[in-house]
Amino acid sequence: MELLFVRTEPVQEIAAEPATLDLLIDILRPKEDEPRATPELMTAARAMGWPLVYDATIRPGYVHCRPSNPDAVPPPSVEEMTEYFRAFMDAGREQPDA
């Protein structure tokens, strides 16, 4: 089975339908031999500490990295941050020197 990850910021939990989540848990479970991923990837994935959640409404093969609070506000996009800093810098140029 191919796993497709969907990320929605801020990530607070990992959710998938039961069979998909069971597969992911098996992949992340420590084993003597890790044929599917590098040790560095496995260590990083296990260190995250996000809760794993069964969600039968998600299509098989999809893993959602998502907020646990549905009202969580995602961080600003790159475009929003660029516009903010552009406006900030322009405002600083408009100030007369003291």
C-alpha angle 66-13-82 in degrees, rounded to nearest 5: 40
Q: What is the mean pLDDT of the chain?
A: 78
In angstroms, what CA-CA distances link 70 with 35, 48, 73, 83?
A: 36, 20, 9, 27
Question: pTM, whole model, 2 decimals?
Answer: 0.56
The token pair at 69 is: 């609070």
- Is residue 44 pLDDT above 70, yes or no? no
Q: Is the pLDDT of residue 59 over 90?
A: yes
**Report for 21-30, 69-78, 86-95: range of highest mean pLDDT:** 21-30
Q: Is pLDDT of 9 > 70?
A: yes
Domain spans of the chain, in order of start: 4-94
Q: Which residue has the higher pLDDT, 64 or 47?
A: 64
More confident residue, 25 or 31: 25
